[in-house]
Structure 1
Amino acid sequence: MRLPAAQHLLGMLGDRSLKLDHAAFDALPPSPAVEHLREMLTHHHILPDRGDIHLARFLPWLDIKLSKFQDRPHIHQPLEQFGRWHHLRRLRADPAPKNMDYATRTAKQEITEAGKFLAWLDEEQHTKVDDLKQEQIDLYWSEGPSTRKHVRAFLQQRKLTGRNRPLTARARTAESSPMVTAQERLDAIRLVIESKNVIPGTRLAAVIFLLYGTPIGRIVALPADSIRSTLDGMTISLGSQPAPVPELLIPLVNEHLNNGARSRSMNKDSPWLFPSTKSGQHISANTLWNRLKIFSIQPLATRNATLFDLTKELDAATLGALLGYSTQIMAAHAARSGNIMGHYPVLKLE
């Protein structure tokens, strides 16, 4: 907290021009320094707990996003319905989403793209969403960046609520599933293990992705106690059943647990396997993925190759229990590999 912005905030606390409550922090211009100080004060019980931090951040973000269309009610109203009645209701549901970080990021992206679509209708088609025609959806779908695919959730939600029911929101489909070769995946695992100049946490996260095909959003939210050592070896809990950790990787796991981020500063004894620099939180998916770029991993192609290889060795139901995927997803990958039923895999590097 030595940067000028942080020193200014501490000075405001010192002279009491900044009250010790969340409303006062919400009124400040958003910045990393503001959130870092707020989270430190919350972690040490000086400020009250706001519950899930991702949901707490989503609420002011949504208010700011909607305020940009305050002067255009024909955009503001449908966007608010989508943001509050659809996404916010889901985020507040009981039980809550398993990965709130991923859920809020998805909500933000879909709301942002819905806003762009409504603005496009208004500015280029001179049309309100209640007068939307199928050809306009098709036109928007056929041009522009691939992020436009996220408008589909908004259009589907309007169909479900009885608006624009005859219209179809067709998703763009890939002609094929990208996949690296088994040798490329094995070379990537070796590169990660041998990259001694990279911190253990980054290498361990990369290995979990390469060995088990676990999505980045789930890797960051793994609790520290998902790693267990028993007389039979080390395991990692990714699904309902613990998965074996190859013996070759045990030193890397131990190095991360004993000398990694969990052993330093505010995150000493953190409950997360991959803690953030922010008090009490795990690392964000975006931060982790940016770190993994050093290994030039192709995310979708590598994940497909991992699950393709594993379904050759193990049946879909058991593999789903080990990796935390649904049986349906595993069955789809197994069908692609041409081997629906297999035997128990021995994870090893040959």
Structure 2
Amino acid sequence: MMLPTGPLCYRCRRDIAYHPGICPECFELRPIAYPSTSSYNVLVCAGCANEESVFACSECGREDHPYGASRCARCILKERLTALLTDPETGCVHEALVPLFEELLRARRPQSVITWLTKPPAIGPSLLDRMAHGELAVSHDTFRALPAGRAENYLRDLLTATGILPPYHPPIEQMERWLSTRLAEVSGDDAALIGRYARWHLLRRLRGLAERGPLSKPSIYSARSHINGAIRLSTWATANSTTIAALTQPQLESYLTENPGGRTTQQSFIAWLGRSKENTQVMLPWRGTTPEVVVSDDERWDSIDRLINDDEIALYARIGGLFMLLFAQPLRTIAAMTRDQIIITDAGRVTVTFDTEPVEMPPGLDELIRRYLDKPGTPSIASTDHGWLFPGRYPGSHLVTDVFRSKLVTAGIHPGTSRNAAMFGLAGRIPPPVLADLIGIADHTAVRWAALAARDWSGYIAQRAE
């Protein structure tokens, strides 16, 4: 490959194409490698030098995304997707898979899609090939019959994100599979009873939560913990020649004496037994919990200072951590934030709406947010923008809570105790009604925190009226 200035190797051609510049003559963003015909010792684009561009794709003429000797990644991707997704009966891309074909062609980095298509074991592309050939139906039922592996789940999420499959709730499906396995270990009558409790009460609640937003891992873990608690009670009852439906109060108390850590996981189950009339002989008084504050305000502000100034920490984790430490936002809420919750005014002010009221960001955090919005992450190969502030690696999803948690813990910040410290600090300075509107918590929760912070805001409404 030759330039007027001399030979050009493939690596240099690729480097120049991937790092275009503003041409000093036409002011367009293009590969700059040709000597100007009007200025000495100035490099310009091929058009301004009246040369044929060696960076242009021989097929489409574009100069971006070089891939191979003469073609661009986008043209090669189109060729490979067409071969993969074509229905042999019609000779065209399979009708149901057209949205996926168009979505992947628009990918910001077509090279990433090519890698996904070719990198072993290429389970996703293999499934797409079978779908295009009519060997597998393009449906959720197909995936329910397949192993719940990472590659299968990724393809399923990709088809859902492109609108080919309707929305679904992966954690609930995984929970249902797990439940069937666990109930197989339980005796007949108790298995049916625990199954009703799990499906009518716990899974129903999870579906309601899923309709309002992505499910958090603590919600899933809590449901599993309650099911495991019910199964342990069943195992004990069977060993003592009874069933859950026939369990008496003295027997329940004997179980709790032998298993002192089982009260928390049994409260919900015992309450459900009474409400559903499955067993009205047993009861377990509900024990509430009082939040603990073990992180001092000085420690919290040290963590805030670290997140504002430490460039070694990932930018998204710094922003999410500051939302938690300054505004007491839980990580699951932060992970599911959307970009339209943030507004940058013409004057450069940055406001974030956590619940109903926009909150102006303090100096330091506002600059981090502006930097992040200039170049947000887009890990998925899908091109559609779903509006997440922190997009995840799976198509159509946001970053999972555990990603934030691991980054913050590595930085020496423990989310649970740090958020309690933030809530304690805010509750001591802001009246409960205002706090509830600003950070999105229930009124009674704000009142509880105000009481914990030892502030009496009982006269706030009257004072505001005056």
Name the TM tier (shorter chain).
0.7 to 0.9
1:249 aligned to which of 355, 359, 365 = 365
Between the aligned partners of 2:370 and 2:395, the Cα distance in structure 1 is 23
Distance (whole Å) between structure 1 residues aligned to residue 178 and residue 400 of structure 2: 22
Kindly provide the amino acid, as one letter, of the partner of residue 65 in structure 1.
L
Separation in structure 1 between the aligned mates of residue 120 and residue 215 of structure 2, nearest angstrom: 29
Secondary structure class of the residue paired with 2:298 = helix
1:347 aligns with none
Q: Deviation at 1:282?
A: 1.3
- Partner residue of 2:304? 189
Please give the alpha-carbon distance, in whole angstroms, between the structure 1 residues aligned to 2:307 and 2:267.
Answer: 37
Give the length in aligned residue pairs: 337
What SS does structure 2 have at the residue aligned with 1:243? strand
Partner residue in 2 for 1:333? 449
C-alpha change, 1:211 and 1:140, in structure 2 (3 Å) is farther
Name the structure 2 match of 1:44: 162
> Residues 1-350 of structure 1: matches in 2 within 5 Å?
1=116, 4-5=120-121, 7-15=122-130, 16=133, 17-45=135-163, 47-49=164-166, 51=167, 53-54=168-169, 56-59=170-173, 61-70=175-184, 72-93=187-208, 97-102=211-216, 105=220, 108-122=223-237, 124-141=239-256, 149-170=264-285, 177-230=292-345, 231=347, 233-262=349-378, 265-266=381-382, 269-341=385-457
CA distance in 2, matches of 1:192, 1:139: 50
TM-score (norm 1): 0.84
Q: How far apart in 1 are the matches of 2:309 and 2:343? A: 24
Q: Secondary structure at the match of 2:212?
A: coil
After TM superposition, give the deviation of residue 19 of structure 1 in Å: 3.3
- Quote the Cα distance in structure 1 between the aligned partners of 2:354 and 2:268: 28
Contact 2:123 2:151 in 1 (8 A): no
Displacement of 1:104 after TM fit?
5.6
**What do residues 157-215 of structure 1 show as CA deviations (whole Å, max 9, x unaligned)?**
22222233342334566687232100000011111222212221111111111111111
Q: Which moved more, 1:174-183 or 1:210-219?
A: 174-183
CA displacement at 1:308 relative to structure 2: 1.5
Unpaired runs of 5+ in structure 1? 344-350
Question: Counterpart amino acid of 1:303?
Answer: R
Per the alignment, do residues 180 and 91 of structure 1 end up closer, same or farther by CA in structure 2, a change over 3 Å counting?
A: closer
Distance in 2 (CA, whole Å) between partners of 1:96 and 1:89 is 10
Other structure's SS at 1:130 match: coil
Q: For the residues of structure 1 that align with 2:363 and 2:307, how far apart are their CA atoms?
A: 16
Change (3 A) 1:273 1:175: closer
Deviation readout 1:83-105 (Å, 9 max, x if unpaired): 22123333455x96533413862
TM-score normalized with structure 2 length:
0.64
- Contact 2:249-2:282 at 8 Å conserved across structures: yes
Partner of 1:235: helix, strand, or coil? strand
**Higher-RCO chain (CA-CA 8 Å, sequence separation at least 6):** 1
Cα deviation, residue 321, structure 1: 0.3
- Return the alpha-carbon distance in structure 2 between the equivalents of residues 166 and 75 of structure 1: 16
Q: Distance in 2 between matches of 1:252 and 1:217?
A: 20
Change in Cα spacing, 1:9 to 1:280, as seen in structure 2 (3 Å) is closer
Identify which range, 15-24 or 313-322, moves more after superposition: 15-24
Partner deviation per Cα, 1:255-297 (whole Å, 9 max, x = no partner): 2222231487536633111211111111222333223221232
Q: CA RMSD in A?
A: 3.0
Report if the CA contact (8 A) 1:243-1:323 is conserved. Answer: no
Normalized per residue, the structure richer in helix is 1
CA contact (8 A) 1:312 1:337 kept: yes
Shift in alpha-carbon separation, 1:133–1:300, aligned structure 2, 3 A: farther
Alignment-derived partner of residue 348 in structure 1: none
Change (3 A) 1:175 1:206: closer
Structure 1 distance, partners of 2:385, 2:260, is: 43
SS at match of 1:290: helix
The C-alpha deviation readout for 1:98-128, integer Å capped at 9, x for no partner, is 3341386256424532453244324544431
Partner AA of 1:128 in structure 2: T
Give, in whole Å, the separation in 2 of the partners of 1:86 and 1:174: 22
Deviation at 1:228, TM superposition (A): 1.4
Gapped regions of structure 2 (runs ≥ 5): 1-115, 461-466
Q: What CA deviation, in whole Å up to 9, does each residue of 1:49-73 have, x standing for no partner?
A: 2x2x32x541353144124424722
Amino acid in the other structure paired with 1:193: I
Larger C-alpha radius of gyration, 1 or 2? 2
- The 8 Å contact of residues 79 and 111 in structure 1, kept in 2 or not, is answered as no
Distance 2:224 2:162 in 1: 32
The answer to whether the Cα contact below 8 Å between 1:311 and 1:337 also exists between their aligned partners in 2 is yes
Q: Which moved more, 1:8-17 or 1:187-196?
A: 8-17
Change (3 A) 1:44 1:232: closer
Aligned to 1:346: none
Deviation at 1:133, TM superposition (A): 3.1
